[in-house]
Amino acid sequence: MIPRYQKVLVIVLLVASLVMGGVLWQLRERAHKRLLAGEDSAPTHAPEVAPSEQATLVAANDADGSLLAQAHSLPLPQDPGARARVLVGKLLDLYAAPDSAHPVPGGAAGVAQVFLLPATGPKDPQNPDAQLAVINLTGSFAASHPSGLETETLTVLSICATLRANFPRITQVRFLVDGQQRDTLAGHADLTRTYLTANAVPTGGTNP
Amino acid sequence: MHWSKSALAALAAAGLAALPAAAQQAPPAPASRFVVVLDAAHGGSDPGGRLGSGQPEKAATLALSVRLRSLLAARGIAVVTTRESDATIDSNRRAAIANYAAAQVCLSLHASDSGSGAHLFVSSLAPVQATRFAAWKTAQAAWVTRSLALAGVLNSALLHGGMNVTLDRTTLPTVDSMTCPAVAVEVAPERGPDGQITAEPDDPAYQARVAGAVAAAVLEFRTEARQP
């Protein structure tokens, strides 16, 4: 004779097994639907080119040592680091052009990456979200850069001024070459220091 | 480090026929010692840039330093140079020589193939009050105001000499560690109205004109410094 309590226990376990089976079946159906939905959202269109935007490039002029702000329209990505890299690359493209007022070979390929980090040093109450831009230049760009106090200084200052014109939060800029700290750009401009964008001010041109 | 001979200076100031008028009008031996430091940039294993003539920058800066030293010594000014030969000297050593000399004028001499005329650079450090102990890398900060005044005098003299001049700020480790009125002078090619090069930075006649203008500026700066 089976005791009553054992009969009740078996029935309860049976019901629990059926409920758990039902839950598992529901979960499987949901996972299957999610998988099908994922397949439906797979890209079926080619990626679109970013729309052109207005940007300010501050270009150097060797003839008078000036920094001139110029308005340009160019496609810019949304990510701030990528955006900064495109802007600095475009500036270097201007310098690599045959009729450049500040001839520097290399072009956009001269800047490998731009990293945006929180600014170092004491917080500026007027710009609490101040950023430090780390520009990683390529070794080939540095090696081919003309040597001279003026030409190297203008390259560094024009990059700083271009970043300042387009990213008000960038207050400091540091330079690396092939990911390493380097003493000078091409024998003169000091790359061991942090440059303040406030010291890189255009001397003319369109409104930055 | 090479000190000019005061006897040589006196002889020269006394009337070498080739000296410009400013030298012949130079006052007799000054009451207090006025020292100028000339730093010919690069040298030895560091050639600097390559000029259009094919010469390395280190040769052009040394030639300019030697020429300028002669002109200043002829005017009775004590001159200290950071190098007199093709020697490798690091930026700290150069600044140390200038600071030990307790100079009233420090000129860092450079040459370049880009731009035109003379480029004058003052340290981009923000001016501060002089203190007893200054940080080595920013020692120039207490002298920036005087350096700007020196750059102004040099600017006027070079413009007066018919040269195209640009005036700017930069970060140059040698200058940033100097405790004296310091200016970096970069000699670029002389260009005609069409932008064509008419004289390279190592052209002796062109260097003579630059050196003459710089020497006149140093004399002017000394005169201004002595005025009450």
Judging contacts by C-beta atoms under 8 Å, the chain B residues touching residue A151 are 112, 114-115
- Rounded Cα distance between B39 and B175, Å, is 10
Identify whether B15 is part of a domain.
no
A109 pLDDT band, cuts 50/70/90, is very high
Indicate if the pLDDT at residue B5 is higher than 80: no
* DSSP, res B125: S
Q: At what angle do helices B144-160 and B204-226 cross, to 10 degrees?
A: 130
- Rounded Cα distance between A189 and A182, Å, is 10
Q: Do B112 and A150 touch (CB under 8 A)?
A: yes
Q: Which of B42, B112, B190, B196 to mutate to test the interface with A (most CBs of A within 10 A)?
A: B112
Identify whether B3 is part of a domain.
no
With left for phi above 0 and alpha for psi between -120 and 50, is residue A106 left, alpha or beta? left
A139-145 average pLDDT score? 95
Indicate if the pLDDT at residue A10 is higher than 90: yes
CA geometry: angle A114, A120, A123, nearest 5 deg = 125
Q: Do B49 and A150 touch (CB under 8 A)?
A: no
Identify whether B165 is part of a domain.
yes
A177-197 average pLDDT score? 92
On whether any CB of chain A is under 8 Å from the CB of B168, the answer is: yes
B102 is written with which tokens?
Answer: 């307790």
Residue B149 confidence (pLDDT): 96
- Rounded Cα distance between B157 and B212, Å, is 9
Give residue-wise pLDDT tens across range A145-168: 999 999 999 999 999 999 999 999
Residue A63 confidence (pLDDT): 87
Q: How far is CA B206 from CA A103, A107, B209, in A?
A: 24, 34, 5
**Closest Cβ opposite residue A148 in set B114, B167, B195:** B114
Residue B227 confidence (pLDDT): 73
Instruction: Please give, rounded to a whole number of angstroms, the shortest distance from the CA of A166 to a CA of chain B.
Output: 23
Identify whether B7 is part of a domain.
no
- Rounded Cα distance between B115 and A155, Å, is 13
Model confidence pTM above 0.90: no
Indicate if the pLDDT at residue A40 is higher than 80: no
Nearest Cα residue in chain A from B184 = A149
B32 pLDDT band, cuts 50/70/90, is low
Q: How far is CA B119 from CA A57, A144, B154, B207, B213, in A?
A: 24, 22, 10, 14, 13
Sheet holding B35-40, edge to edge: B2-3, B78-81, B35-40, B105-111, B182-187, B118-123, B165-170
Contact A143, A76 (CB under 8 A): no
- Rounded Cα distance between A160 and A139, Å, is 19
Terminal CA-CA length for chain B? 32
Phi, psi values for residue A167, rounded to 5°: -135, 85
Q: Do A147 and B57 touch (CB under 8 A)?
A: yes
Identify whether B9 is part of a domain.
no
Instruction: Give me the domain span that covers residue B108.
Output: 31-226
Residue A39 confidence (pLDDT): 58
CA geometry: angle A88, A94, A100, nearest 5 deg = 140
Q: Compute the count of residue pairs across chains A and B with CB atoms less than 8 Å apart.
A: 73
Split into its structural domains, chain B has a count of 1
Written as one string, the DSSP assignment of A129-158 is T-EEEEEEE-HHHHHHSPP-HHHHHHHHHH
CATH number of the domain residue B127 falls in:
3.40.630.40
> Residue B137's closest CA among B174, B90, B180?
B174
- Rounded Cα distance between B207 and B201, Å, is 7
Note every long-range contact of B219-224, with CB atoms under 8 Å and residues 24 or more positions apart, other chains counting.
Answer: B219/B22, B219/B26, B219/B75, B219/B77, B220/B153, B220/B156, B220/B157, B221/B104, B221/B105, B221/B149, B221/B150, B221/B153, B221/B181, B222/B30, B222/B34, B222/B77, B222/B104, B222/B105, B224/B149, B224/B153
* DSSP, res B1: -
| ipTM reported for the complex surpasses 0.95 | no
Q: Do B172 and A147 touch (CB under 8 A)?
A: no
Range in A76-85, B13-22, B96-105, B155-164 with the lowest mean pLDDT: B13-22
Sheet holding A204-205, edge to edge: A52-61, A66-75, A204-205
Nearest Cα residue in chain A from B176 = A190
Q: Which of A64, A147, A155, A196 to mutate to test the interface with B (most CBs of B within 10 A)?
A: A147
Q: Do B166 and A193 touch (CB under 8 A)?
A: no
**Closest Cβ opposite residue B119 in set A149, A190, A192:** A149
